[in-house]
Amino acid sequence: MTSPKVLALDFDGVVCDTVREAGRSAWEVIRPLRGTNGGPLPAGAMAAFVRLRSAVEFGWEFPLILWSILDGVSEAALLAEFQGKWREVALESIGLTPEELGRRFDAARDGAIARSLEDWLMDQRLYPGMAARLTSALRQGIRIYILTTKGGRFAHRLLEVHDVPLPLDQVWGRERQHPKPALLRILRRLESAAFRDIWFVEDRLKTLQAVRREPDLGEVGLFLALWGYVRPGDPDEAGADPRISPLSLERFCGEFDGWRK
C-alpha cells in the first residue's frame, strides 16, 4: 500500500521538538526540592539534558534525569542505565511517587503558559515542514492521530497555535493509560481500518519493536523518525529490521510512496 488510511504519530521528537521546554519544566519541579531559590537551569545541565533526551520514556521521568545530571551521574551511565538503575535512585532521593511527579510537571507547564504563552511556545517548535505536511494529509482525507505519553492538552495546544486543524479527540495523551500497541488496536476498531492501513511513526525504537512483537499487529506500517530523539545505534538497528523503515524528515514531508525502505 502506497499511503495509509490512518496515520498514528508520536508527538515529542516526531511532530514537535520540545526538549528545552521539558528541561525548564523539570527544573521548576526539582528546584525547590534541591533548596535552590530562583535562577535558571545552569547552561551545562540543560545541554546535558538535551543530549540525554533519548533516555527518557515518560514525562514524569524528566525531573529524575535532571536530578541525576545535577548529582553528577555521567552521561554515559545515564544513557546506558537510566531506566534500569538511575531513575530509581533519583526517585528514592526525591521521595515522590511517579504520579506526584507527573502532577507537578504538568503544574509547571500550566504555570509557564499562564505567565506567558509566547515564552512557553518559544521553548519548542514543530519540526520544519511539519504543519504543512500534516495539514496536507488531513486535506487528503487521511485520519491522523497523535499517540503520546505527554498530556494530550499540551500537545493539542501546540498543534492549535500552529494552525494544524486536528480535533482534540484525535490527540491521545497519557490520560488514555494504554501502551501504544493497545492504542493501535483501539484505532483499528474506531476507524474500522485494517492494520495494513495504519502507519505508525515513532522516534523510540523500543516502542516500534514492542509493536513488531505483537502477532496481530504484523501488518501495521512502522517508521522510525530519524529527526527525533533516537539513541545511538537505533538507525542501523532499524535498518536491519525488515518490519521497520528508518524515515528522514525530508521523506516524511514528501509523498507517502517514498516512505518505505
Question: Does residue 117 sit in the same domain as residue 24?
Answer: yes
* Segments forming the whole domain that contains residue 157: 6-17+126-258
Q: Which residues sit opposite 245 in a β-bridge?
A: 223
CA distances from 101 to 25, 60, 95, 132, 180 (A): 11, 5, 10, 35, 22
Q: Give the contacts of 55 (CB within 8 A, at least 6 positions apart).
A: 65, 78, 79, 82, 83, 231
Question: Does residue 70 sit in the same domain as residue 114?
Answer: yes
pLDDT tens digits for the chain (261 residues)? 689 999 999 999 999 999 999 999 999 999 999 877 677 888 899 999 999 999 998 889 999 999 999 999 999 999 999 998 999 999 999 999 999 999 999 999 999 889 988 888 888 899 999 999 999 999 999 999 999 988 888 899 899 989 998 999 999 988 887 899 999 999 999 999 999 999 999 999 999 999 999 999 999 999 999 999 999 899 999 999 999 999 999 999 999 999 986
Cell digits of residue 222: 512502522
Residue 150's pLDDT is: 84
Of 122, 137, 162, the residue at which a domain comes to its end is 122
Question: Does residue 137 sit in the same domain as residue 253?
Answer: yes
Question: Does residue 163 sit in the same domain as residue 249?
Answer: yes
Residue 1's pLDDT is: 63
Closest to 110 in 3D by CA, of 10, 13, 29, 169: 29
Domain count, the chain: 2
Question: Does residue 13 sit in the same domain as residue 25?
Answer: no
- Residues 231 and 79: beta-carbon distance below 8 Å: yes
Question: Does residue 114 sit in the same domain as residue 133?
Answer: no
Domain with residue 194: its CATH number is 3.40.50.1000
Of 122, 156, 184, the residue at which a domain comes to its end is 122
Question: Does residue 173 sit in the same domain as residue 104?
Answer: no
CA distances from 58 to 142, 192, 210 (A): 28, 29, 16
